[in-house]
Amino acid sequence: MAKDRVVLAYSGGLDTSVAIGWIGERTGAEVVTVAVDVGQGGEDLETIRQRALDCGAVEAYVADARDEFASEYCMPALKANALYMDAYPLISAISRPVIVKHLVAAARQFGATTVAHGCTGKGNDQVRFENGITSLAPDMHCISPVRDLALTREFAIDYANKHDLPIETTHHNPFSIDQNVWGRAIETGFLEDLWNAPTKDVYNYTDDPTYPPLPDEVVITFKEGIPVAIDGRDVTPLQAIQEMNKRAGAQGIGRIDIVEDRYVGIKSREIYEAPGAMALIQAHRDLEHITMDREQARFKRTVVDRWSDIVYEGQWFSPLKRSLDAYIEDTQQYVTGDIRMVLHGGRAVVNGRKSETSLYDFNLATYDAGDSFDQSHAKGFIELTGLPAQLAAARDVKFGRGVAIGKAKLN
C-alpha cells in the first residue's frame, strides 16, 4: 500500500528542514515540501527546493507567488487601509492565506491528506494556517511538528548534525523574523523586555529616520483603490510596493513598535517595518477623503475594523470576510486620482491631491466671494440637528438635573 503523504510548509530554515525527516520518522508518511515566494528575499527557490530534496522530501513544490500576493492579498489590505490595533498592517496575517492556497494545491497534486507547518503553539500563525487549510479543504488534517511532535530547537540542531543535513546549525538569530513584500515582523530576544528599545540591527527594510537623506517627493496614481503609476510610470501592484519600500524605507518610514494582543490571549512585543505599505496606506486614505461619500466612509471604518480583526485571526477564507470584501470593493469605485506626498525623516506627508472623481467642490468650500453655498440654510439645519438634545436638556432642568458646569449649575 502507498504511504500517506504530508505536505509541509517549508522555509528552507533549520526547523522545517529537520521536520522533513522527523515527520517521516514519527508518522511513517512521505513528506512533500512547499516553499512560496511572497517577496521575503533571501535564498532563491531552486536552492530551497534542492535542500528539501536533500533533507529527504519525496517532492518539493515551489511557487513564485509575489505578484499573486501583491495583487490578491496586499491590495485588498490597502483598499481596507487595514491596521490591526490601529497600527499593524497585517504583514504575516495576509501572507499565510496565500501560502495556504499553495499548500492545498500541492496536497491535491501530490495526494496528501495532511498539512504540516513550522509554527509554535503560542502564536497566531498556527491558527491562520490551520483555519485556512480547513476552510479551503475541509477534509484535510493539520499537524505542527514543533507543537505536536516535540521538535525543539536543541533537538533540531542535534538531529541536523547527526543526519548531516545540508543546513547551518551554528548561526543563531536572536530574533524570530517573518518578512514579505508587505513588510517585516521581528520579535523575541531582548525585545521581550518592554523597556528595551530596539537596536539598529533589528531593522532591515528601513534606514534610521533620525538622519534622513533629502526629502523625496512622489506622486502616486490610483485607479479604483489600487496604485497604477508612480511619478507617471506605470507599475504593477508588486512594483508599486517594491518601489515604495525602497523610497519610503530610505526615509525610515513605517517603523512600528507595539505590544500586541495576540489571538491566543498573550500580549507580545512586536517590531514591524513596512515602509511601502504605510506610505501607500497614507496616500490611499487621503485619496478616499476626497472621493468617498461621508456616510459610506464612516461605515467603511466599522467594516474595516472588523475586516482587520478577522484577517488577523486567520479568517481570510471565511464567509464574513468575503461579505466585508464586497462592501470594501464597492467603496473603491471612485477612488481614482493622484496623491502627491513628501517622504522625509520617518514621515510620509500628503501635500497635494487631484481626482476626476473627487467630491470636493471648490465653489462650495471657498471662503472667497461668489461661493455657491447658501449659508441661510445652516441656521435651520443646526436647530433641527440640535433639537433632540435641547429637549432632553429642558427636561433635565425641569427635574433639577441640569449639567453641572464647574461649580455652577446650568440654568
Cβ-based nearer residue to ligand ARG, 185 or 220: 185
Q: Is 176 a catalytic residue?
A: yes
Whole-number minimum distance, CB 260 to ligand ARG, in Å? 6
Q: Which of 5, 49, 66, 96 is catalytic?
A: 96
Examine residue 81 and tell whether it contacts ligand ARG (CB under 6 A).
no
| Rounded distance between C-alpha atoms, residue 120 and residue 387, angstroms | 57
Q: Which of 5, 15, 66, 178 is catalytic?
A: 15
Examine residue 144 and tell whether it contacts ligand ARG (CB under 6 A).
no
Whole-number minimum distance, CB 57 to ligand ARG, in Å? 22
Examine residue 126 and tell whether it contacts ligand ARG (CB under 6 A).
no
Question: Which residues in 261-300 contact ligand ARG (CB under 6 A)?
Answer: 270
Task: Return all residues near 359 (Cβ < 8 A) that are at least 6 apart.
Answer: 290, 291, 292, 293
Cβ-based nearer residue to ligand ARG, 173 or 333: 173
Examine residue 130 and tell whether it contacts ligand ARG (CB under 6 A).
no
Whole-number minimum distance, CB 93 to ligand ARG, in Å? 5
- Binding mask 184-203 vs ligand ARG (x if CB under 6 A, - otherwise)? -x-x----------------
Whole-number minimum distance, CB 94 to ligand ARG, in Å? 9
The torsion angles phi and psi of 117, rounded to 5 degrees, stand at -140, 165
Q: Is 96 a catalytic residue?
A: yes
Closest CA to 43 of 13, 66, 19, 14: 13
Bridge pairing between strands 267-273 and 255-261: antiparallel
Whole-number minimum distance, CB 86 to ligand ARG, in Å? 15
388 three-state secondary structure: helix
| Rounded distance between C-alpha atoms, residue 118 and residue 129, angstroms | 10
- In our burial notation (b when 16+ CB lie closer than 10 A, e otherwise), range 129-143 reads bbbbbbbbbeebebb
Whole-number minimum distance, CB 46 to ligand ARG, in Å? 24
Examine residue 179 and tell whether it contacts ligand ARG (CB under 6 A).
no
Stretches 171-179, 201-209, 281-289, 320-328: which one binds ligand ARG (CB under 6 A)?
Answer: 171-179
Stretches 172-180, 194-202, 302-310, 355-363: which one binds ligand ARG (CB under 6 A)?
Answer: 172-180
Q: Is 44 a catalytic residue?
A: no
Cβ-based nearer residue to ligand ARG, 259 or 403: 259
Q: Which of 148, 153, 176, 261 is catalytic?
A: 176
The owner of cell 522530501 is 57
Examine residue 173 and tell whether it contacts ligand ARG (CB under 6 A).
no
Stretch (H or E) spanning 147:
helix 145-148
Q: Which three cell numbers stand for residue 142?
A: 493539520
**DSSP letters spanning 319-372:** HHHHHHHHHHHHHTTT--EEEEEEEETTEEEEEEEE-TT----HHHH--STT--
The torsion angles phi and psi of 269, rounded to 5 degrees, stand at -80, 125
Q: Which three cell numbers stand for residue 111?
A: 495526494
Select the residue interacting with ligand ARG from 19, 70, 93, 279 (CB under 6 A). 93
3-state secondary structure 78-122: HHCCCCECCCECCHHHHHHHHHHHHHHHHHHHHCCCEEECCCCCC
Select the residue interacting with ligand ARG from 178, 243, 273, 286 (CB under 6 A). 178
Partners of 298 in beta bridges: none
Closest CA to 231 of 245, 216, 253: 216
Examine residue 124 and tell whether it contacts ligand ARG (CB under 6 A).
yes
Q: Is 125 a catalytic residue?
A: yes
Cβ-based nearer residue to ligand ARG, 169 or 188: 188
Catalytic residues: 15, 96, 125, 176
For ligand ARG, the binding residues (CB under 6 A) are 92-93, 124-125, 176-178, 185, 187, 260, 270
